[in-house]
């Protein structure tokens, strides 16, 4: 297309674009390709140690020598991603349906649910570690009333459900905003008509509103699934992967950056995580788009 | 005005009680509890944690601030947040304007490539190796440079959409008036894109301020830590001193919570748009 800026002005365009493109190349393009390359090396985080290409050695170590650890990690990832995706969406649907109604305090409730959007994982993690402290915390006091106690994040049974809970707690506001926006696009007349026909509140929601917000469901399910398959910063603060919360992301991080820092093996785990995420997201995308079409026809 | 929109729901009492109970128990209660603990003495916390602080132990905040060297971490966080946000804003405007206008060769291809950058996974392992090779590891300028990419790509995506709404005739008249390209971008185009600046600025600030994995991977010297990691280290060394930790948590959360309450709409926009990435 013809450029109104000519001559010296034109070179200014290229000059001002150069730093941005350099940043993108160095910190965007190269790292996203390099993970694959590093996964074929024995790169260690210790400076000065020479690096060699080792072929598939990292992958063999991952799938063969450390098969038990990998199996556990895959199971933890499935639990975490599945739990977060399903419950975050169900709770947000319920909440969005309620928060789009008129009643006193609704704006205050919205504000409170959205607030964790700005809180970082350190603050969220410490807050819930305090609330769920095995002794002295309010949850422990509550259990004490029933004469029991729990190690919470230190319990091999409870750690995963609690990590899922905190992850949902932190991101519920976002999912709810998307559903609220979706519900606002549903014509009021439809709901009114169903009301006149005598349909109850929940029936109206599932039969009338829910099919109409299929696009919001697609967005929220995919974002929750992709996010929970990749994220591990909250798990890092809460359990550091202990007690069956060692998701692939956490496993990758601890392999690469704790102890002697096996970056090559970490990169191999990162590749596996990346491939799983891509497959799951594509499958969900396909399924949910078909579902949208079926709903709108 | 339609009466149906202004009328309270028929079952508003039930709604108020059920939703209110859930929100208060899970969202307001925890916050209140942390505030309550932060004002108790360690002694009271061990015996009557659930009751109102008596006396009010304001010194927890002073002590947390000093023991956790929060002043220094705060300064680091402010520096790490403001500078990369401003630089990334400038870089993304410089990239987005000519590409949205298709003023350079291969604009379409560069546009597609930069937009795909939104979906690149954060690759800490190669970034860590690169950071060491380029001497960006464990120093302030390096740490800030490493945060440019993410904010810049997001800003690019926002600005391209925004600049398309500005008519081309404006460019032509600027050229006829002999306005310099850089001056044109800075004084004419940028002010027209204020809402995009607000959304991107808030998005970038939330991401960088709250980043914990970044400082764990790219920084080793405690004096360089931002608040997020500083607080985490303080937690590791003072486990069990919950009254102090609660005060620390509140100090760390305060700036963003206050900003959120004042600019709620922009925050929800910025954070929602940002979810594209996380």
The whole-angstrom distance between B215's CA and the closest CA on chain A is 12
Q: Do residue A126 and residue B245 have CB atoms under 8 angstroms apart?
A: yes
User: How do residues A54-88 score in pLDDT, each as one tens digit?
Assistant: 999 999 999 999 999 999 999 999 999 999 999 99
Of B6, B211, B264, the CB nearest to A111: B264
> Per-residue pLDDT for A221 more than 60?
yes
The nearest alpha carbon in chain A to B44 belongs to A136
Q: In angstroms, rounded to a whole number, what is the distance separating the alpha carbons of residues B224 and B75?
A: 10
pLDDT band of B263, cuts 50, 70, 90: confident
The whole-angstrom distance between B62's CA and the closest CA on chain A is 18
Lookup: tokens for B95: 């990239």
Helix (H, G, I), strand (E, B) or coil at B256: helix
> Contacts for B115-120 with beta carbons within 8 Å, 24 or more apart?
B115/B153, B115/B156, B115/B157, B117/A24, B117/A28, B117/A29, B117/B149, B117/B153, B117/B156, B118/B153, B118/B154, B118/B157, B118/B276, B118/B277, B119/B277, B120/A28, B120/A31, B120/A32
User: How do residues A135-185 score in pLDDT, each as one tens digit?
Assistant: 778 888 888 888 888 889 999 999 999 999 999 999 999 999 999 988 988
> Which residues of chain A lie closer than 8 angstroms to B177, CB-CB?
none
Is B245 near chain A, with CB under 8 Å?
yes
Q: In angstroms, rounded to a whole number, what is the distance separating the alpha carbons of residues B174 and A113?
A: 47
Nearest to B265 by CA among B202, B214, B216, B219: B202
Of A156-160, A192-196, B139-143, B194-198, the one with minimum mean pLDDT is A192-196
pLDDT band of B6, cuts 50, 70, 90: low
Q: What is the pTM of this model?
A: 0.92
> Per-residue pLDDT for B209 more than 90?
yes
The whole-angstrom distance between B161's CA and the closest CA on chain A is 18
Q: DSSP assignment of A17-35, as one string? A: HHHHHHHHIIIIIHHHHHH
Could you identify the residue written with the tokens 């949910």?
A288
User: How do residues B212-258 score in pLDDT, each as one tens digit?
Assistant: 999 999 999 999 999 999 999 999 888 778 899 999 999 999 988 99
Q: In angstroms, rounded to a whole number, what is the distance separating the alpha carbons of residues A260 and A262?
A: 6
Residue A167 is predicted with a pLDDT of 97
Q: Do residue B175 and residue A4 have CB atoms under 8 angstroms apart?
A: yes
The whole-angstrom distance between B71's CA and the closest CA on chain A is 17
The whole-angstrom distance between B242's CA and the closest CA on chain A is 7
Chain B residues 113-132 with a CB less than 8 Å from chain A: 113-114, 117, 120-121, 123-130, 132
| Cα A229 versus chain centre, distance | 6
Chain A residues 103-162 with a CB less than 8 Å from chain B: 103-106, 109, 111-123, 125-131, 133, 136-138, 141
Q: Do residue A117 and residue B120 have CB atoms under 8 angstroms apart?
A: no
> Which residues of chain B lie closer than 8 angstroms to A178, CB-CB?
272
In sequence order, which residues have a C-beta less than 8 Å from that of residue B225 and are 6 or more positions away? B73, B76, B215, B219, B233
Q: Do residue B268 and residue A177 have CB atoms under 8 angstroms apart?
A: yes
How many DSSP H helices and E strands does chain A contain? 15, 0
ipTM of the complex: 0.90
Region B42-62: mean pLDDT is 82
In sequence order, which residues have a C-beta less than 8 Å from that of residue A290 and are 6 or more positions away? none
> Which residues of chain B lie closer than 8 angstroms to A277, CB-CB?
121
Q: Do residue B117 and residue A109 have CB atoms under 8 angstroms apart?
A: no
> Which residues of chain B lie closer than 8 angstroms to A129, CB-CB?
235
């Amino acid at each position: 297309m013809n450029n109104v800026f000519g001559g010296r002005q034109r070179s200014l365009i290229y000059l001002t674009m150069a730093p941005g493109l350099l940043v993108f190349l160095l910190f965007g393009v190269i790292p996203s390709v390099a993970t694959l390359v590093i996964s074929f090396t024995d790169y260690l985080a210790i400076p000065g140690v020479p690096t060699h290409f080792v072929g598939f050695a990292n992958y063999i170590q991952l799938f063969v020598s450390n098969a038990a650890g990998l199996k556990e990690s895959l199971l933890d990832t499935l639990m975490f991603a599945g739990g977060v995706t399903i419950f975050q969406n169900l709770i947000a649907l319920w909440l969005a349906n309620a928060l789009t109604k008129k009643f006193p305090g609704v704006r205050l409730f919205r504000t409170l649910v959205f607030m964790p959007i700005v809180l970082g994982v350190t603050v969220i993690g410490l807050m819930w570690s305090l609330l769920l402290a095995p002794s002295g915390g309010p949850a422990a006091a509550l259990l004490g009333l029933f004469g029991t106690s729990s190690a919470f994040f230190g319990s091999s049974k409870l750690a995963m459900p609690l990590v899922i809970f905190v992850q949902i707690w932190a991101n519920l506001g976002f999912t709810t905003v998307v559903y609220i926006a979706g519900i606002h696009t549903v014509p009021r007349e439809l709901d009114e008509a169903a009301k006149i026909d005598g349909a109850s509140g929940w029936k109206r929601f599932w039969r009338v509103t829910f099919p109409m917000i299929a696009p919001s469901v697609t967005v929220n399910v995919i974002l929750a699934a992709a996010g929970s398959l990749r994220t591990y910063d909250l798990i890092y603060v809460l359990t550091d992967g202990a007690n069956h919360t060692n998701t692939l992301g956490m496993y990758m991080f601890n392999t690469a950056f704790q102890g002697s820092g096996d970056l090559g093996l970490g990169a191999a785990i990162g590749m596996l995580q990346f491939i799983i995420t891509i497959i799951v997201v594509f499958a969900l995308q396909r399924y949910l788009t078909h579902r949208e079409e079926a709903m709108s026809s | 005005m339609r009466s149906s929109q202004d009328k309270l729901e028929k079952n508003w009492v039930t709604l108020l009680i059920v939703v209110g109970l859930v929100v208060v128990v899970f969202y307001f209660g925890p916050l209140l509890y942390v505030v309550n603990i932060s004002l108790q003495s360690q002694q009271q916390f061990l015996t009557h944690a659930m009751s109102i602080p008596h006396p009010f132990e304001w010194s927890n905040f002073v002590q947390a601030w000093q023991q956790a060297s929060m002043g220094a971490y705060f300064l680091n966080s402010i520096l790490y947040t403001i500078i990369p946000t401003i630089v990334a804003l400038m870089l993304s405007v410089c990239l987005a304007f000519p590409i949205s206008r298709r003023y350079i060769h291969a604009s379409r291809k560069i546009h597609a490539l930069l937009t795909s950058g939104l979906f690149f996974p954060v690759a800490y392992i190669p970034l860590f190796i690169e950071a060491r090779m380029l001497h960006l590891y464990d120093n302030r300028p390096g740490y800030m440079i490493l945060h440019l990419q993410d904010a810049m790509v997001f800003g690019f995506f926002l600005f391209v959409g925004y600049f398309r709404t500005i008519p081309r005739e404006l460019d032509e008249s600027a050229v006829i008036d002999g306005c310099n390209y850089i001056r044109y971008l800075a004084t004419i185009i940028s002010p027209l894109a204020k809402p995009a600046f607000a959304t991107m600025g808030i998005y970038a600030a939330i991401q960088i301020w709250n980043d914990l994995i970044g400082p764990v991977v790219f920084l080793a010297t405690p004096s360089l830590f931002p608040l997020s990691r500083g607080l985490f280290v303080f937690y590791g060394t003072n486990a069990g001193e919950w009254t102090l930790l609660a005060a620390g948590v509140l100090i760390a959360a305060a700036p963003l919570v206050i900003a959120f309450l004042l600019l709620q709409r922009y925050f929800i926009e910025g954070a929602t748009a940002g979810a594209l990435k996380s």
